[in-house]
Structure 1
Amino acid sequence: MKRLASWRENLLGYLFLMPSMLLFGIFLFYPLIRSVYLSFHLTDPRGRVAAFVGFDNYAGLFASPVFWNSIKVTFLYALYTVPVGLALGLATAALAHSKLRGMRVFQFIFSMPVAMSVSTSSVIWMILFHPTMGMLNYGLDLLGLPPVQWLTDAGSSLLSVSMMTVWMNSGLIFIVLLSGLQGIPDDLIESARVDGAGPIRTFIRIVLPLLSPTVFFLAVLSVMNALQSFGQIHILTKGGPAGSTDVFVYSIYREAFVNYQFGTGSALSLVLFVLILALTAIQFLFLEKKVHYQ
Structure 2
Amino acid sequence: MNTMERDLPLKTSAQSPVHIQNKTRTLSVQKWIETLLGYVFLSPSLLLFAVFLFYPLLQTFYLSVHETDPRGRIASYVGFDNFVAIFTSERFYKSLEVTGLFTLLTVPTGIALALLLAALTHNHLKGMRIFQFIFSLPVVLSVGTSAVIWMMLFHPSVGMLNYLLSCVGIAPVAWLTDPRWALLSVSMMTIWMNLGFNYIVLLSGLQGVPDDIYDSAKIDGSGPVRTFVQIIFPLLSPTVFFVTIVSIIGAFQSFGQIHILTRGGPVNSTDVLVYSLYQDAFINFRFGTGSAQALVLFALILILTIVQFKVFERNVHYQ
2:211 pairs with 1:186: yes
Q: CA deviation at 1:150?
A: 0.3
Q: CA deviation at 1:2?
A: 1.7
2:302 to 257, 261, 277: 277
2:75 to 46, 50, 55: 50
Amino acid at match of 1:154: P
Please list, as runs of the form range in 1=range in 2, the aligned pairs for 1:1-294 lying within 5 A after superposition. 1-294=26-319
Q: CA deviation at 1:100?
A: 2.9
- CA shift digits 1:250-289 (9 cap, x unpaired): 1111111100000000000000000000000011011111
- Residues of 2 paired with 1:20 and 1:125: CA distance? 37
Amino acid at match of 2:86: L
Q: CA deviation at 1:129?
A: 0.3
Q: CA deviation at 1:5?
A: 1.3
Q: CA deviation at 1:101?
A: 2.9
- CA shift digits 1:110-134 (9 cap, x unpaired): 0110111111100000000001110
The secondary structure found in structure 2 opposite 1:167 is: helix
Deviates more, 1:217-226 or 1:13-22: 13-22
- Residues of 1 paired with 2:124 and 2:184: CA distance? 35
Amino acid at match of 1:177: L
Paired residues, number: 294
- CA shift digits 1:48-96 (9 cap, x unpaired): 1000011111111111111111100111100000000000000000111
- CA shift digits 1:157-183 (9 cap, x unpaired): 000000000000000111111111111
Task: Give the alignment's TM-score, normalised by structure 1.
Answer: 0.99
> Gaps (5+ residues) in structure 2?
1-25
- Residues of 2 paired with 1:248 and 1:29: CA distance? 22
The secondary structure found in structure 1 opposite 2:274 is: helix
Q: CA deviation at 1:98?
A: 2.4
The secondary structure found in structure 1 opposite 2:76 is: strand
Q: CA deviation at 1:206?
A: 1.0
- CA shift digits 1:180-227 (9 cap, x unpaired): 111100001100000000000100111101111000000000000000
Task: Give the alignment's TM-score, normalised by structure 2.
Answer: 0.91
- Residues of 2 paired with 1:207 and 1:285: CA distance? 23
- Residues of 1 paired with 2:267 and 2:230: CA distance? 46
* Structure exhibiting the larger radius of gyration computed from Cα positions: 2
